[in-house]
Structure 1
Amino acid sequence: MDLSERQKMAAGDWYCCVDDELEALRVVARRALHEHNTMDPDRRGSMGPALAALLGSVGQHARIEAPFHCAYGFNISLGERTFLNAGCTILDTAQVRIGSRTLLGPNVQIYCAEHHKDAAQRLKGLEIARPVTIGNDVWVGGAAIILAGVTIGDGAIVGAGSVVTRDVPAHATVVGNPARPARGS
């Protein structure tokens, strides 16, 4: 039996992102995001109802400021009191777990998808999805980018503008592009 592109994506195999089923799921996400991003803040509260329903799980008092963007939504899990500031983007082609009391600054980007290195395969829409895990009590500074397959340990700090290409140990502070341990930490 052949696997669907969605099943391949979920399994961490190469899949074609140009697929009717995946596009239909992205349309559902775009509708929820539109509601969240355009709803009066007094009515929206911590996040729009359609977005809250779309996400994989949402801990108590988790908050997402508008505007926000994600690819699918259902792969995102937020811990309790997690905060995503304005402009965050999560391309959740794989699981994205963000722990409790974790803070993401404005315009933080999380990318789970990696496109094929071969140009002909990229042209066909081939990509692979790898999960991102961010622990509890983490602070990710504004405009940081977290790449596919990265795990950030509890209590870590990612400096603003950093590009995180590999795992960050618990309680470490990393800065730069690529992100490296900060001096004195």
Structure 2
Amino acid sequence: MSLLDAEKSNVREGGPSFSLKHRLFRAVWNLTWAVAGSWTPVPLHGWRRFLLNAFGAKLAPKARIYPKTTIWYPPNLEMEDHALVGPGVILYNMGPMKIASYAIVSQRAHLCGGTHDVDDPHFQLQPKPITIGHKAWIAAEAFVGPGVTVGEGAVLGARGVAAKDLEPWGIYVGNPAKKLRERKRF
């Protein structure tokens, strides 16, 4: 396991949360993405998809990643066909992150797949999965927290904050996100 025991690694005093091998992999990934991926022109979805898949992501042939995204750990990313991640999105995917078909994560949204055990004196890191359901939409600058599932067709409005699961086909707004109404099913 690449996640280290916080007590042994002394996280509270600046020690690492992940193994050296894991950190080196991420360093190589970040350098590769900065040099060959993040800045590339919008139409080069295939090239960015190729780079991510080469580093262990599972991106379907028609998934689209826009430029200037931040992907923390490619092996934890799965995207189905026609899933879209917009420009400037942050995928802090310490745990598995799945974006289903026809789901949209709009510009500068932030999906955070980890937290710390606040009751642990050593502040142990806890990676948590995030799932964005089929036809769901995470609007501009919204935040999806650790362990959240956004149900099929659900919408999280611009700058909304989802700390809990969002029910399928609901429209949510605010901080914390509250259900505004049902979305028309299609």
The residue that corresponds to 1:5 in the other structure is 2
Q: Which amino acid aligns with 1:23?
A: R
The residue that corresponds to 1:32 in the other structure is 32
Q: How does 1:65-76 map to 2 (within 5 A)?
A: 65-76=66-77
Say if 1:55 and 1:77, in contact at 8 Å, map to a contact too: no
Residue 22 of structure 1 and its aligned partner are, at CA, apart by 2.1
Among 172, 175, 178, the alignment partner of 1:174 is: 172
The residue that corresponds to 1:145 in the other structure is 143
TM-score (norm 1): 0.83
Residue 59 of structure 1 and its aligned partner are, at CA, apart by 1.6
Identical aligned residues as a percent: 21
Residue 117 of structure 1 and its aligned partner are, at CA, apart by 1.5
Q: Which amino acid aligns with 2:33?
A: L
The residue that corresponds to 1:93 in the other structure is 94
Deviates more, 1:154-163 or 1:110-119: 110-119
Q: Distance in 1 between matches of 2:140 and 2:56?
A: 22
TM-score (norm 2): 0.83
Give unmatched runs, 5+ long, in structure 2: 6-15
Q: How does 1:73-152 map to 2 (within 5 A)?
A: 73-117=74-118, 121-122=122-123, 126-152=124-150
Q: Which amino acid aligns with 2:137?
A: W
Deviations 1:4-31 (A, max 9, x none): 43488xxxxxxx5153122112113213
Deviates more, 1:109-118 or 1:91-100: 109-118
Give unmatched runs, 5+ long, in structure 1: 9-15
Say if 1:33 and 1:68, in contact at 8 Å, map to a contact too: no
Summarize the Cα distance change of 1:60–1:159 in structure 2 as closer, same or farther, 3 Å threshold.
same
How many residues are paired up? Answer: 173
Residue 118 of structure 1 and its aligned partner are, at CA, apart by 5.2
User: SS of the residue aligned with 1:93?
Assistant: coil
The residue that corresponds to 2:53 in the other structure is 52
Greater RCO (Cα-Cα under 8 Å, separation 6 or more)? 1
